[in-house]
Amino acid sequence: MNQIIFFDTTLRDGEQSPGASLTSSAKLTIARQLEKLKVDVIEAGFPVASEDDAYAVSLIGKELKNCVVCALARCVVRDIEIALRSLEKARKPRLHLFLATSEIHRKYKLSKAKDEIIKIARDMVKFAKNFIDDIEFSPEDATRTEPDFLLEVCKTVVEQGVKTLNIPDTVGYAVPEEYGNLIKFLRDNLPKTVILSVHCHNDLGLAVANSLAAIKNGARQVECTINGIGERAGNASLEEIAMNLVVRKGYYNAEIGIDTRQIYRTSKLVSSLTGIPVQPNKAIVGDNAFRHEAGIHQDGILKYRETYEIMHPKMVGIPESKLVLGKHSGRHALKIRLESLGISPDEDSLNRIFQQFKKLADRKKEINDLDLIALAEQETMPVSSEPIYTLEYFHILSGTTTVPSATVRIKKKGQVFEDASLGDGPIDALYKAIDRIVKLSPKLEEYRISAVTGGKDAQGEVTVALTIDKARVVGKGVSTDIIEASAKAYISAINQYFAKKGIKKRKYRGA
């Protein structure tokens, strides 16, 4: 009764973050990591939204063995049929139906009376129940719905076989005490066999607080996303909820199945593939979460860690270097260190990581854990099969009295292409030369540099967001040379564009 079910909606609600569009292959990469994290349910997509969303749900459902795979649908027959088709090969399928119930949604969005809402909810659950057993229902904008009417809707769908009732704070309007009381009211008036779930948005910065208040009052499923990404201000953060339940277990008296040691790795992967950075002061996974600058704090930590740390960084998978790796290190030492970081590559992936490790070791005297995580991330990007374009060579000429120019050599399926261009700066010239080779005219929407590690020989991480033919794509590159990282990121984004273009040509025909 005290086990908390973690329902991860990074691939559905999280993907609705502006600019966070993911291809089906990127979703599958994240889903694999979510299964390592041991989430209980993965909401893989909203199949009616696009062919690629439907394909992604099918792909994930077919591959994952332990997680429940969930597809979202409105209370519309066509939505339900497409969602069910995408779940055909899933080992543990779930259908998630939603229907707005608040007065403001009934009046302005649906133009429906209360009795019409009840009828739609009853009929659509009854229809879906003919094809699938595990159904979750969400009365959208529940926290602004009249409590008595909300209870009536919930009782109606439970009578038709709904097993999980999700009570979403769709617009982040609730406050913890109020939300907790609502969950208690529903818990007291609904069958104990029904699991109450919560889905909180962060518009007032209370998504995690509201979720925890709900757990204290009887909710046993929590819907959340990695890094708290999602619509508008985002969703409740999985890592924050999980670590609250671990660190304050005595208060919440709840059990979780999450492997917290996979949290940091999952956070980095989601940030990489969505192109959404994690703010430095983000709880649990931010760069500053376990850093101490004040002298008093440093003194306290050196004397006894718990003076200023309520959890050890290893609990969430943030590494502390033990094994020094350099250019003389072997493949086996690399493998052991990767495994200690929660990274278990297959032989082919390990060989590729090792090759990149050797190249990096020629540039850096010592390679630390964060370097290794960055190398492993590169192995997962691009997430399409084989990249169309790979960087072979570049040469930059720039200076205060010289017009910046770039020469670039790129390989495409065994053929090598070379071109050159002038630009307003070295990066501009580099990107224009690449554009000439690939024959595209991308619009650079975002260019971001961050250091993976410290020191003069630190790896630089470059993330770019491009718009090509109205499609937004994100690419990432890592190198000790920031211009090389910039080129890799730009080419990665172009490869993502062609991967998306290929998916659009493929017509989805079910699992």
Mean pLDDT by 10 residues, the chain (511 residues): 95 88 89 97 96 94 97 98 98 98 97 98 98 98 98 98 98 98 98 97 98 98 98 97 97 97 93 89 90 66 76 84 62 80 82 86 73 74 66 94 94 93 96 96 91 69 87 85 92 87 51 34
CA 391 from chain centre, in angstroms, equals 27
Beta bridge pairs of residue 74: 98
CA distances in angstroms from 333 to 76, 322, 351, 354, listed in the order given? 55, 12, 13, 10
pLDDT at 345: 84
Q: Looking at residue 314, what DSSP letter applies? A: G
**Collapsing DSSP states into helix, strand and coil, what is residue 454?**
coil
Beta bridge pairs of residue 460: 451, 479
Kindly report the number of other CB atoms within 10 A of residue 463's CB atom: 25
Kindly tell me the burial class for residue 115, based on how many C-beta atoms sit within 10 Å of its own C-beta (0-12, 13-18, 19 or more): exposed
Contact between 186 and 165 under an 8 Å Cβ cutoff? The reply is yes
- Which H or E run includes 239? helix 238-247
pLDDT at 475: 86
Give the span between the Cα atoms of 501 and 133, in whole angstroms: 36
pLDDT at 215: 98
Kindly report the number of other CB atoms within 10 A of residue 251's CB atom: 11
Kindly tell me the burial class for residue 11, based on how many C-beta atoms sit within 10 Å of its own C-beta (0-12, 13-18, 19 or more): buried
Give the span between the Cα atoms of 261 and 311, in whole angstroms: 12
Give the span between the Cα atoms of 228 and 216, in whole angstroms: 21
Euclidean distance between the first and the last CA atom of the chain, given in angstroms as a whole number: 35
CATH of 389-505, one of 3.30.70.520, 1.20.120.420, 3.30.420.40, 3.30.160.270: 3.30.160.270
Q: Comparing C-alpha atoms, which of 449, 494, 493, 497 is closest to residue 475?
A: 493
Give the span between the Cα atoms of 449 and 462, in whole angstroms: 5
Give the span between the Cα atoms of 10 and 276, in whole angstroms: 12
CA 507 from chain centre, in angstroms, equals 26
Which one-letter amino acid corresponds to residue 312? Answer: H
Count of residues in the chain: 511
Contact between 276 and 20 under an 8 Å Cβ cutoff? The reply is yes
Q: If phi over 0 gives left and psi between -120 and 50 gives alpha, with beta otherwise, what is residue 486?
A: alpha
**Collapsing DSSP states into helix, strand and coil, what is residue 35?**
helix
Q: What is the pTM of this model?
A: 0.79
Which one-letter amino acid corresponds to residue 92? Answer: K
Give the span between the Cα atoms of 398 and 406, in whole angstroms: 9
| Fold observed for domain 3-274 | TIM Barrel (3.20.20)
pLDDT at 455: 65
